[in-house]
Amino acid sequence: SILSALLHAGILNSAFTLAFTTSLIVYRLFFHRLHNFPGPLQARLSRLYLVARTYRSLQLHVELERLHQRYGDFVRTGPREVSILRPSAIPAIYSRNSRCRKSLWYAHVSDNPRQVSLHMGRDPEMHHLRRRIWDKALNMKAKLAYESAIVQKAASMVQQIRGLMRKDGSVDAAHWSSLFASDVMGIVGFGDDFHQVDCGQEHPAIANLHESMEFLGRWTPTPWVIGLLASLPGAAKKHSSFLNHTSRLVEGKLKAWQNNDGQPPRDILSWLISAMKDNDPGKPPTIEALHEDGRLVVIAGSDTLSSTLAHALYYLTAYPNEYKKLQQALYNHPIGTNGTTEWSTLGSITYLDAIIQETLRLRPAAPSGQPRVTPPEGIQIDEVWVPGNVNVVVPQHVLHRDERFFPRGEEFLPQRWVDGAISKDAFFPFGSGPRACVGKRLAMVELRIILAHIALNFDLEFADERLAKAFITQGKDTVTYTVPPLPLYFHDRK
């Protein structure tokens, strides 16, 4: 009968499922090539363990720190994932000579290498070609061209903060850091000032981006789930708003470039579009790739800078003696012929860079690291051989706080960079190797200029100690940092 056949099929299906699950559990626990690596029992069975541990807090970086404190330098964080806490792992995994490749995490946008951004591309040769165009857009000559616009934006932000202090009494430094970073990103990336600092409001699409990044951060340990959930009806509504916003920006730039009268490129998108028009080998291979590069500009150019700036302002407020040292260093800096600060020479102020480096050490913009997959033959890291075809990562947040490489690693001590009391081989806030952040030099320029403007104009004080504590303890690892509000008093310097 039909009922009997269905019952028989159900029994067979249950038996098969039970046998398969049992064999998978036994294999992952006792026979997998990573079975000798220490780690939580549940993590050996499924990456969903990390999702469960961090689902509410969105603090994967903190969970990885806890695991390394318990299990040591090599921790099995998934069935075929290993987190590594050795400086020697950085060149072994990320250098130009490494045979490790980007993991499948980078395929969650598209598995077509011709339809992804520079950052998400997994093919080394294609990345090398495309990177050349970005390097041109962000080289020293371009950096100097962007500098005057960044100085103007920083001056505008100082005026806005001063006005808000008179009106409201305190200013959310995290919010204004985001506005500043987004406006600068618009100038550098699209040649267009978004005027968010001028109006004090964040574009709704950027706000939706932050919510989308929370979704991405929540499911980062299981990239196969990201595409599955994103395909559900209505699940990607907020993200779609951001996609549409960046598409309009890219299409507007394409249209404007068609009417270009021979002017050279002056922003990142112009360089990319120009490469496409000239059929340069390093061009975005498709229009889809160009759109993804536009989204990369928005995300990498705003989220990373804003979190670093907000954290720097927190530490300068929490450590007033360090802030006074910075103000004194800026006060002693040479004045230009027109009686103003020489912004282009801020890189010569050692203590300003020390402040930035120490902030990046404690709060790297991508705290949980960038996953790679080992080559079939595996890799040797010090005394440990890591098998082939497994995902490996060096979490910056954890390595940067390791007392072996940074004594008193939990403390904000900019002087360590002045004295050279650091392990430079354990410090890589912008990544390492050919995939390192292409905009790191520009990011340093932006941070120097805005921090100098603030330090020269204001003394800082926490407006709410409770919220200040929440800011530094409840930041979310959403691939990049997402920070809570940080209300500060910006007192005019006497």
Element of type H or E holding 81: strand 81-84
Give the torsion sign (CA, 228, 229, 233, 237): negative
Burial of 419 (0-12, 13-18, 19+ CB in 10 A): exposed
Residue 481 CB partners (closer than 8 Å, separation 6+): 303, 304, 307, 311, 363, 365, 366, 367, 475
> Among all chains, which residue has been given the structure tokens 């979310």?
476
Quote the longest CA-to-CA distance of the chain: 98
Q: Is 100 annotated as a binding residue?
A: no
- Provide the CB-side half-sphere exposure for 264 (13 A, CA): 5
SS (H, E, C) 206-232: HHHHHHHHHHHHHCCCCHHHHHHHHCC
Across 158-258, the runs of DSSP E, i.e. the strands, are 171-172
C-beta neighbour count of 35 within 10 angstroms: 12
336: three-class secondary structure by DSSP: coil
Cα 95 from chain centroid (whole Å): 19
98 close to 433: Cβ distance less than 8 angstroms: yes
Which pair of structure tokens corresponds to residue 327? Answer: 């103000």
| Binding site members for heme | 437
| Binding site members | 437
